[in-house]
Structure 1
Amino acid sequence: MEKRRIGSLEVSVVGLGCNNFGGRIDAQRTAAVVGAALDAGINFFDTADIYGGTRSEELLGRALGRRRSEVIVATKFGVPLDDQRRGGARPAYIQRAVEDSLRRLGTDWIDLYQLHRPDPETPIEDTLGALDALVRAGKVREIGNSNFSADQLRGAEQAVRPGAARFVSVQNEYSLLQREPEREVLAESKRLGIAFLPYFPLASGLLSGKYLPGHPAPEGARLAAPEAPLTARFLTDQNRSTAEALSAFASSRGRSLLELAFSWLAGRPAVASVIAGATSPEQVHANAAAVGFRLTADDLQEIDRLAPPPPR
């Protein structure tokens, strides 16, 4: 599988999002998904301390076992976990959060440690200083952020002390149905040499091709429950209509909607790895094989017509 750079790290262009571990799937199914990812050439695993009620890190570490040194593990901190672990990016909290993540993952180091969301109450200089100390101590190899705006990326870059660790990645929502990063963040990440990691690349499954027009969502699918928080957001009439049009376009090129969604993202500026979750080995293999659709300039123009970019 093709590899791309995130700072000093070399990651597979398709990664595995681990948000299902400890929640939608148990330890046994997690091990099967991780094993399938390794077999498919995926070496990039992205999790967070909050996923699965903190169980995701634990199950990922257990599933990797002795193969930990073969892969790139990314995790995140900063979202409140409970009344004692209230999140944020204060240096004291970072120190506690990283030790907890290292213990749950069963590892001595984290390859990419990411601030899950901006903390307006903590100066970015303080956060960067604490993260730099982790890098110098060998507990973290590279640092990144998530849900940052272009202004916040610039502010963080300006706050880096000479010779200190800097953010090498930004992880924001990006898909054919959510193209907001094209307004500013993608260009800024490219200018700063920061890798872009799209989350929700399949719009929570809507771009997987399993939500057919005129049919109910498949049983057990993430958007199957009408009361689920993501259902109202993603399963709109407009999104379903756009997904149907994109699916027809992909089919006219002999490809699937899944292949279109992955390949389009993989071809975007600054994107280092397309990380999508999976609940079965079959999904992993389908995702890993979905980046072979080479889009022409005419293809891209038609995609822009079907799923327009944001106004600038």
Structure 2
Amino acid sequence: MQYRKLGKTGYDVSTISFGAWAIGGTWGQVDDTQSMAALHRALDLGITFFDTADVYGDGHSERLIARLRRERPDPFIVATKAGRRLDPHVAGGYTEANLRRFIERSLKNLEMDALDLVQLHCPPTVLYRQSEVFEVLDRFVQDGLIRHYGVSVELVSEALEAIRHENVATVQIIFNAFRLKPADAFFAAARAANVGILARVPLASGLLTGKLRADTPFAADDHRAFNRQGEAFDKGETFSGVEYATGLEAVERLRPLVPQGVTLAQFALRWILMFPEVSCAIPGARNPQQVESNAAAADLPPLTPEQMDAVRAVYDDLIRAQVHPHW
């Protein structure tokens, strides 16, 4: 496993970390025994950063991580998110009282005295221009409720706005071989501001595993079945906003680039780590085998310039027009 600094937090985090959305909900049926085995295997393999949210399974994901903390003495960093419990989810709901309530609930779920990192969970765009919300988070740091804070964003423009607030330590953003815009339009600014970057949806909701087919079935409670057009939340969260058929075509273009003995998923994760501004990629995993496959990507040799150019060519030919203008 390899490690990088997480921006202003100063934390050293594993470059392949653990995204805990899939063990919480909206990915089909979950098995807590398998989820716990996956979490334990992550620690075995040197993974030190776990990303969750208060709405993943209505706190279920957080509670599983609390159980991991009880069962293992290994030190690790936990990041959670706050804001999506609001109904309606509007900027005006991000009050000090509401945020305090969400954070105190996460503290209880995670069985922690202070949260390592809290991220505003894809709030409305206008919120990034409201300095008073970030002043509230500063007070929570001073009060000892949280140690650091960041944001999880949908848009590159939101990321750029967020890092104007000097104490924003991290930005979580969708970044993968089907989402190149952050590298082109955000990474340099994040580097200059010493902001850590968490690459979420790194496998494009499973498309970049190469295991999905045109007839792959998805459970009714799997967002890949019910959110393809943004019916429940931002369309970009599902398959990175790429139309499913286009994504499958792009995957076939990528397959010949993958070295022997390496999976497409590992290749896609290693591609992300070719960008030094990225602190870590946070793929999900629901069993120990998936964790092992993800973690192995950290120690693969660097991709060649020719491979990097070829990935960009696939993006330019098939993906760019669908996603670049929108996120």
Matches within 5 A, 1:98-117: 98-117=103-122
Quick check: 1:29–1:279 contact (8 Å CA) kept in 2? yes
Cα offset, 1:236, TM superposition: 2.0
C-alpha distance 159-231 of structure 1, shift in aligned 2 (>3 A)? closer
Matched-pair identity in %? 31
Consecutive unaligned residues in structure 2, runs of 5 or more? 229-237
**Alignment coverage as a number of residue pairs:** 304
Give deviations 1:256-307, integer Å, cap 9, x for gaps: 2112100000111410011011111100000000231411222212222222
In structure 2, the residue matched to 1:127 is 133
In structure 1, the residue matched to 2:234 is none
In structure 1, the residue matched to 2:123 is 118
Cα offset, 1:152, TM superposition: 4.1
In 2, Cα distance between the equivalents of 1:54 and 1:86?
22
In structure 2, the residue matched to 1:96 is 101
Quick check: 1:205–1:223 contact (8 Å CA) kept in 2? no
Matches within 5 A, 1:104-253: 104-119=109-124, 120=126, 124-147=130-153, 149=155, 151-160=157-166, 166-212=167-213, 216-217=215-216, 226-227=225-226, 229=228, 230=238, 233-234=241-242, 236-251=244-259
In structure 1, the residue matched to 2:75 is 70
Consecutive unaligned residues in structure 1, runs of 5 or more? 161-165
In 2, Cα distance between the equivalents of 1:221 and 1:241?
24
Quick check: 2:204–2:240 contact (8 Å CA) kept in 1? no
In structure 2, the residue matched to 1:285 is 292
Please provide the CA RMSD for this pair: 3.0
Quick check: 2:220–2:226 contact (8 Å CA) kept in 1? no
Say which is worse superposed, 185-194 or 195-204, in terms of deviation.
185-194
Correspondence for 1:45 among 50, 55, 59: 50
Q: In structure 1, the residue corresponding to 2:36 is in which secondary structure?
A: helix
In 2, Cα distance between the equivalents of 1:44 and 1:77?
18
Correspondence for 1:273 among 273, 280, 304: 280
Higher relative contact order (CA 8 A, sep 6+): 2
Q: In structure 1, the residue corresponding to 2:171 is in which secondary structure?
A: strand
In structure 1, the residue matched to 2:313 is 305
Cα offset, 1:234, TM superposition: 4.6
In structure 1, the residue matched to 2:2 is 2
Cα offset, 1:136, TM superposition: 1.8
Question: Structure 2 length as normaliser, TM-score?
Answer: 0.82
